[in-house]
Each structure stands twice: as C-alpha cells, then as structure tokens.
Structure 1
Amino acid sequence: MSTKRIALFLGAVWGAVIVDIVAYGTGPGNAVHVATYLAICCTAWRASLRLPPGPGRRPWLLVAVALTSWCIGDLVELGQFYFAEVPGVGVADIFWLAGYPLIAVALVQMARRRAPGRLRGGMLDAMALTVAASAALWQFVVAPTLGLGYGLLDTLVPALYPLCDVVLLAAALFVALSPGARGVPTRLVLGAVVFFLGIDLGYNILPFMIDYSLVQRLGPLILAGGAMLVAACLHPSRGELTAGADRLPVVHPARVIFLGLALMTAPTLTLMHKGFGREEVIALIATAVCSTFVLARFTNAVREQERAQAQLAHQAGHDTLTGVANRATLDDRLRRLLASDVHPVSLLYLDLDGFKEVNDRHGHEAGDRVLTAVADRLGGLVRQGDIVARLGGDEFVVVCPGLTEAEVAEVAGRILREVARPVPFGVAEMAVGVSVGVAIAAEGSRSPAALLRAADAAMYEAKRHGQGRWVLAEQHPATDVPVLADPPHSWSSSLR
C-alpha cells in the first residue's frame, strides 16, 4: 500500500477514535467502536495473509491474532453491558491479557530476524529489567491490595496488566536496540507499543486524580495503537523489521542505564519499606556509586571487545586492497536482499578494459592504484545501502536494490564515465575502461548465483561489442539462460 493510502487509513481511524471518545458509553459510540475495531482486525488479517509465507509473515500473523483477541474482549464486555452485568474480573480479561504476550512474541521474532544469533545479551538485559519492574509492581500494586478483602482473582488479574506492560516494553526494547534500519515501520511499531503502555499507565494513575468516568474514555485510544501496527504491516518498507542487519551488535547507552536501574531497584524498594534513616541513605548512595563504577568498567570492557570484533569482521568481509566487500560478503548480502521485500534487485558486473596493459607497462603497484581508484569512484556513485564488491582481479560488482530499469541505466552510464577518467600515478596518468553487464532480479527471484551468471554473460556481451559499453540481460524463467535484452550502450549514448 502506498504511503498516502496508509496516511488516509490512519486519519480515518483517528477520526473514529475521536467520535468514540466523545460518544463513549452511548449506543452510537459503541457502534463506531465495534465497526472501527472490526475494520482494523480485517485489515490486519488481509495485510498479513497477503505476505509471502515464511518467517517474515509470522510476526504479522501474531499481531493480527492479538488485535482480534482484544476485539473479542471488547465484544464480550459489550455483550455483558447490554444483556447482563459487567464483572470486575471476567471472561473479557482472558482475551485482553492474551493479546500482550502475542504482540511481545511478534516483536521478539522481528528482533531475532534483524539480529540472528545476537540477542542473548539483549534478552538478559530485558529479563533483569523485567524482574526489577515486577518487584516494584509487587510492592506498589499487588501487596497493598492483599489485605483489603478482595478475592484472589480480583487481586491478581488487575496486577497482571502492568506486568504484561513490562513484558511488552522489554520486547519493544529488543526491536529498538537491535541492529537494523529504523524507518517509518519501526517507528510505527514502537509508537504503538508506547501508546499501549501509556493507556495502561493512565488507567492505573489517573483514577487518583480525576473521575473514573473520564479515565474510561482512554479506552478508544487502543484503536489508534492497533491501527499503527497495521500501518507498519502495510508500509512498503515493512521488510526492515524482519531483514537481517549487517552491522555488528553494539551495546546501546540506554541498556547500561536500564541495567543500573535494575541493580538499584532492590535496595531502593527495601529502604522505602523500612524507612530512610541517615545510615540507610548513606548505604543507598554508596550502592549507587559502586554500581556506577561497575557499569562504567563493564561498558569500557564491552567497547574494547566491540572494536576488536568490528576490526576482525571488516578484515574477514572486505577486500584487503580496495576496502570494498569481498565475495563472501556479497553472496551473504545478496542472498538476504533477494529473500527480503525489497524489489527489484539490480546487479552490475564490471570488468576493467585495458587493465592488463597497465600492469604490463607500469607494474603491479600502478595496477593496485587503478583498482583502489576504481573502488573509491564506485563507492562515491552508489547510495547508502547499495553494495560495492570486488570479486578478484579487475572484476567488481555493484548491487542497487529498489531501482527502476531507467535508474539502473543511469547508474551504468555514470559508472562508464567515472571509471574512464584517468588515474594519476606519479607523473603519469593511466586510463582504463570498463565493460558492464546488468541483470535485474524481479520479485520471486531467490538465486544469487543465477543473477551473477546473467550479469556476467551480459558483461561478456558488452566486451564482444567493444570497450566502454553496458548491456542489460534478463534471465529466462525456466532455464536461467541470460539473453540480450537491449543492444549494447556505449558511455556516450548512456543516460546522463
């Protein structure tokens, strides 16, 4: 769905939410609430089921199930309101509480797809924060109600909502702090979680400040949060939430702060229960200072390890001469691109013309200078997120996802012109050309090797017609045999 239609969808939901808040508790208000909720759930199911089957679709199916569960809870309560009596704790709570872990699991699955095999540290941090928040929840929410004469369910069920909020917050932190892009879909998902947390917090705090009849009007806002989740699923860039990230995991400063809060929770709660005398305050300050020093030492050790890992990863995944990606990195990133929602994926296969003559005439040092200059120029031509790789010798590959055929032609033309510029070497200038083969993988293509073969064959077709040309090839859907899609283009006739 286009971003304009997504904006219209969110605007329509917000309009219904405002009507629901104004007419809350009335027949028309309830009708608007039910109709809007059903529309959001249907849109969530439609959007998730239209995605290709596989791990990338599972989180969105869980989101659809969670929203449907919440909607059923509202329908049960409305049925009790009209035909029976609404209990303090009832069947509706089962459906409401069930939605929280479903969304939390969906967020964790997104984080695992963004950082496969690299979530153990984040999970430990989230568990520490969850334990600390649970301790505070027990002292301030559950314990005070134990002696008020309420039944077991009336005491525990309301306390489960803040606990579910903590679990939801921990799952949201997995996504927020995991490597990967943080575009509109990510912000929509995190914004929805913040919305849900804010609504539950308002339900727990505002009754002490204002009349509960006004607090109840927060309920329709849950529709806006659900619509934000659906909008993230509908967004063209939703793949960023489930696409593997290339960068190494880095400990975010916020995680260190969360660990500090978790460490200080138990002693702070203990002193709040016993009272803050002079000795207690001194002990609390000493604990806070020691915790700060320990966390600072921990952060310093982690940063040193991150720098060492980054250096080793760069050496393993990049060409030592030019600094661009090597064949292993190209294969890995190309495979993930083809499996993602980003289409089409364009691959340009480059082979330098006249490079052997440079080596023979000026020596290998001059040849290395040409290769580094070409790599630098290619890096300056592409966008952030595109891939420049060296396969070996004088062969390079450029991968540009999401470009139209006309835009790929423009990139190929710029490459011909930039590579043809002379390369200074001492007092001399060396000139090489380049032959480029272009292959475009449409949606549904899953073979990096077939795409490389098609571009490679197109490159040789360009060489056969002379230097300084590019050829666009296409794969036959049944045999993967590359065929000539367009006549060769020289640098002078390429799109500028």
Structure 2
Amino acid sequence: MRAWVLVAVATLLGVAFVGVLRVPGLGETPTLLISNGGQLLAAVLASAGCAAAARRTHGQRRRAWGWLSAGTASWAAGQAVWSYYEVVLDRPVPFPSPADVGFLGFPLLAAVGLVIWLGSQTDELVARGRDLLDGLIIAGSLVVISWVTALGSVVAEGGDGWLPLTLSLAYPVGDLILATLVLLALSRGSRAERTSLVVLALGLGGLAIADSSYVYLVSLEKYSSADTISTGWVIGFLLVAAAGLTVRPAPDDASRHMAEHARPTVVPVPSVLGMALPYVPLLGAVAALIANRVTGARTPTMNLVLGSSLIIVVLIRQFLAMTDNRRLLVALGEARDQLEYQALHDALTGLANRVLFADRLDRALLQPGAAVSVLFCDLDDFKLVNDERGHEAGDVLLREVAHRLLDCVRATDTVARLGGDEFAILLEDSSDAAYVADRVVGAMRRPVSVDGREVRTSISVGVAHHEGGGEAVDERREPGRRAVEVGATVPAARRESTAQLLLRTADAAMYAAKGAGKARAVLAAEPTGARS
C-alpha cells in the first residue's frame, strides 16, 4: 500500500509542476526557475531514494542501487550546469554542452546497476543466454517503436555535424538500454522485489518519453525549458525516488542465515507475467510498423531491416526455448528414474528392497509351471558387531554381505535386503535351491575386513520352494508336502497369499537353522533335516 501511495504522491507533484508552469502571466524568469529547479530537485530526490535503498539492502543489490544513485546524481549535475546557463548566465544552452556529460552519465551508470542486478538472478549459462535474447527482443522492439516515432525523424533531419547527431541519438538509445534492462529485471525478479521494479520501470519510462520528446523538439529547434515535456523528467525521477523508498530493509546476516536454513528449499517458478513481459514491447513494435506502413509516412526500407532482425531474434529465442525444454525433459526423466530406483532399492546396499522383492515374487508366481524358491537369510549375532565395533562397522559388514550374496546367484535372480540384517533371495526357474543355500552359507564363513580388522560372521538360511501345477500348502501344518502354487490363472489375492506363505515358510526354516546351531541352511520341504 505504501508503494502506491508514493506513486500517487509523485504523480500529483508532477501534475502540480506542470500546473504551475501553465499559470497565466508567469514571467520567463520564474518559469525558468520553476522548470529547472523542479527537475534538479526531482533528480536529487531520486539519488537520495536510491541511496536509501542501497543502505537497506546487501550484496549485489546494494551495489546495484548504489550505481542507480550515482546515475541520478550525474543527471542532477548535468541539470545544475543547464540551470547555470539559463538562469545565471541568462543565455541559451549550447548543444552539445558540459551539461550533456552529466545527462549521458545517467544511462551509463544506471545501466551498470541494472546489469549487476540481473547478474544476481542466476548463474546458469542457459538462463544467461535466455536473458540475453529476451533483452535483444525488448531492445529491438523499443528501437522499432523509437525509430518510427522519433529516431527516424532525427536521422532524417541530419544536423550540423556528426557530434550533435551522435549526442541526439545517444539520449533515446540510452533510454532504450535502460528500459530493456529494467524490463528484464522485472521479468526475472522475485515477488518481494516486483513492486519496486514496477515503480522503477514506470519512472524510467517517464524519462524515456521526456528524452525522446526532447531530441525530437531539438531537431525541430522548438525546445525550451518551459515545455510540458519537462514534466516527464520530474515525474520520472520522483518515481525512481519512490522505487528506492519501497525497498524493504534486508535482515542482518545472522537472521538471514537462520531464515535460509529454517525454510525448505523452493525452486522458483517463473510467473506468466515474467515469461510474457519480453513480448509486450514486441506487440507494440508490430503495431508501430503496421501503422507506419499504412500511413506511408516514411520509406519502409529501415523498417523492413529492423522488423526482419527482430523476427530472427525471436526465432532464435524460440529455438533456445525448445532446446531448453528438451534438456528439462531429459533431466526430468533421469530424476524420475532415480526416484523410482530409490523407491525400490535399499539405500545402504543397493539391493532390491521389500517392495521390489514382493513385486518380482508376484511376477514369478504368474508363470505357469515355474519352479520358484525363496531363501530367507539372517546374519548370526549381528548385534554384537554393532555393539562392539559401532554402526559404521555394521554398515560395512552389510555391504560386504550384499556383495557376496550377489556372487552366489545368477544375474536373473533377485537378492533383496528386507531390513536390518535380514536378506532374501528369489530363484526363478531353479530346482537347485539347496546348492545355492550352501554357497551362501559357505560365502559368509570367510572373514570380513572392517577398518583393517577381521570380523567373522555366519548366516542362517531358510528355503521354501514351490512348483506350478499344485496348490500352496503350509509346511508347518502338513510337513510331508512341499509348498507349491497353481499356474498363472490364480487370482491376485491368492497369489499374494501364496507369496506370503512362501516367505513365512522360509522364515520359519531360517529360525529352525538358528535353533540347530546357526551357520547352516534348512529346507522347509525337509523340516527335520539341516545342512551344515
């Protein structure tokens, strides 16, 4: 609310300024004093407002506002020289004059500040390339509009020499650069900065209109300090001052550090306005070219060159956008695959987790006539390793166990970590689960090196098996029969029941192995036997 109150005050002051200039009977000297004094005061206030914004911010933002303050101060210095010629010396200001040094210093210094501002938005090369092309689109569009309305006339009029013509063109060109940079900053700025940037853009827009009108009137030798266009500079600089005053104080380093760590990292999403903003001047350029062509006021040769160049830049920008979109799609696909992998695999060992193991077991049960075995594995006395050597040593041991389990099976088999020190192995189309179980037990008998010290461990394995063509049976209820399952026509609920039965049966066999002395494998189909 405060920002728009400042904007309203700046606008009312500008209206009051032009009203005073139009007071009937006002003499030439008072008019010059009011006109020059009002412009000088507005520029000084703009410099003070930008300096206040610099004191409230930090880092690159502080430097950006500092350069803007220096730029408006430069313009104020030029206006002071201009006022000296007209008020003190009482003679027309020559063109060019020392005042032009101060006036032209404003777009140069302010442009440095806006470039610093844009430099803090992103460090990505692609984003910088996009900003460059967006800047070219904005600048090209503004050049077209300026050429059709003012620049073309100035060039057509020529001048008394190359220096006056160059200086005449420097004013609108400098304003075009500033307008381009501030629109880019507005499209890339954060929501918290948007109000200040909008007010700053309005202020620079007023200055651009005043400068273009000044150049046009100078080319016609009709400009005087009492002209209404002086209001553009007054309102423009007052809005720049208002933009600086709308900047909120930045938190101190400690508070900012705590806030950054307290809130979650949020990826900024560009607004629709931010994405569309570079194309708003483009619509104006198209309208200006069409209007100029319809009226036929000027030869279309330069218009054609400018319009064609603008179209080429837009096409390059769209190609870059498509390339960037393709890159984002590839990155999104890779991120999706990574998330899917993380959701289905154990973070410590890289093995399949319980979810993926259950899914593959269900798929195996779908195959008609398949021979499927489940090995339930549990390390013996793993808690002692954690207690004596620490959890880091336990993690090293678990990773080594995972590696050895993978060496004991085929590439088509599935090894999973179910949690803690529990592992499971799914053997598809295998009728030799006992051999694999023996390999697993034997592989764990070799010591594991943890931090340069040998750790000896063992593993207990329970085996459950099924074959297609029969019906699943619980070995604990009917010890003489194997756990089997019917073919692929079994409903999903029954397959799930069978999978759970196989895991429970293998788990029970594993506990039987531990009860028989550990470091061995027990087959559920042979509940009374143990393999050491």
Question: How does the TM-score come out when normalised to structure 1?
Answer: 0.48
TM-score, normalisation: structure 2: 0.45
Bigger Rg over Cα: 2
